[in-house]
Amino acid sequence: MPLRIDGPHRRYNPLLDEWVLTSPGRLDRPWQGQTEPSTPGARPAYDPECYLCPGNRRAGGAENPRYDGTFAFDNDFPALGRLTVGARPPTDGMLRADPVSGHCRVLCFSPRHDATLATMAPPEVRATVDAWCTETERAAAREAIRYVQVFENRGDLMGCSNPHPHCQIWAVDHVPSVPSRKLAAQGAYHDAHGSDLLGDYLEVELAEGERIVLTNDGWVALVPFWAIWPFEVMVLPRRAVGGLVELDEDDRRSLAEIVAELTARYDALFACEFPYSMGWHGRPAGGHADPAWRLHAVYYPPLLRSATIRKFLVGYEMTAEPQRDLTAEEAATRLRETPGRGAGPGARDS
């Protein structure tokens, strides 16, 4: 029996050991606050001013090759670098700071300035999936790297600096805060149950069905029970794989299909280029396969009720705990019923 909860309640997120206050029915309240500009007009296929278009000069002075597929390069303004010998900050006490080093890359999905994952042809989305995997593998093989984060900021609302379709890959010499909490939670769950947390969670979701957005032979896209962002989605492999580097040919094919379909539905939901931050959470780099950790992607889109009204994580959310109005079940229903690429309304499988 699907879980039915009416009225305000809190939901537990076992991956991050935190709660979200859920207040169904608050979406009808009046809004006289900020609205966002709607999606800008159509972009050209090539923009002579774009730092990422083929053949153009980047801000750092390097010239892009005339690439015709995906294109990755070292970030000209990296957030991380080599550890400066002799500049080691204090590592304990009240004022704690640890040294950090790493490597930052930028990956363009397409030579076309106007392309997006939502509209790119299936072979191009597949090439992007392959590049996520190869870039992760290369980054993880670098000396002293402990964790690789692939992430995409899409849209001005999410602070994306350029509409040319791209993502970033940051490889670091430590496990950062969020994956570190996920590492602890999945490890503790595996110790206690002998199975993986997200695998067991996926079984519950598939049995209930209410929060499922899309499924195919390799992957499931769902709105997590504990979602914070209105149309937050998690993409999970059916198979117990720990990282992008472990995906085989079939996994990659079906992943490209579900990513293409999910992003198309996002865009169709409010008839705009749906902004989001997405990221891949794979097991830390190095070492052996970890049966506790299941690879997953998280999509965090800020839009709430239209292309111009966003959710703000402020007030109670900043000072006490995240809160949402639209339930995860309502969000999943909306996304499920939104027509995607060629799939009619209500179609479930990508």
**Which parts of this chain interact with ligand H2U (CB under 6 A)?**
51, 58-60, 75-77, 106, 153, 160-162, 168
Q: How buried is residue 16: exposed, middle or buried, by Cβ count under 10 Å (0-12/13-18/19+)?
A: middle
Instruction: Provide, rounded to whole angstroms, the least separation between the CB of residue 79 and ligand H2U.
Output: 7
Instruction: Provide, rounded to whole angstroms, the least separation between the CB of residue 58 and ligand H2U.
Output: 3
User: What Å distances lie between residue 307 and 159, 275, 345, CA to CA?
Assistant: 16, 9, 20
Instruction: Provide, rounded to whole angstroms, the least separation between the CB of residue 103 and ligand H2U.
Output: 12
35 or 161: CB nearest ligand H2U: 161
User: Which one from 166, 190, 281, 296 is the annotated catalytic residue?
Assistant: 166
Q: Cα 268 from chain centroid?
A: 18
Task: Return all residues near 292 (Cβ < 8 A) that are at least 6 apart.
Answer: 186, 187, 189, 190, 191, 196, 197
Element (H, E) at 191: helix 177-193
106 or 198: CB nearest ligand H2U: 106
**CA within 13 Å, CB half, 303:** 24
19 or 151: CB nearest ligand H2U: 151
Which residue's Cβ has the minimum distance to ligand H2U? 58
218 or 301: CB nearest ligand H2U: 301
Q: Cα 337 from chain centroid?
A: 22
76 or 203: CB nearest ligand H2U: 76
Asked whether the beta carbons of 229 and 300 are under 8 A apart, the reply is yes
Instruction: Provide, rounded to whole angstroms, the least separation between the CB of residue 254 and ligand H2U.
Output: 27
In the residue annotation, 166 being an active-site residue is answered as: yes
Instruction: Provide, rounded to whole angstroms, the least separation between the CB of residue 151 and ligand H2U.
Output: 8
- Pick from 89, 90, 62: nearest CA to 74: 62
Q: Which phi and psi angles does 106 have, rounded to 5°? A: -120, 135
d(CA 18, CA 86): 39
- Pick from 97, 95, 56, 92: nearest CA to 73: 56
| Residues designated catalytic | 166
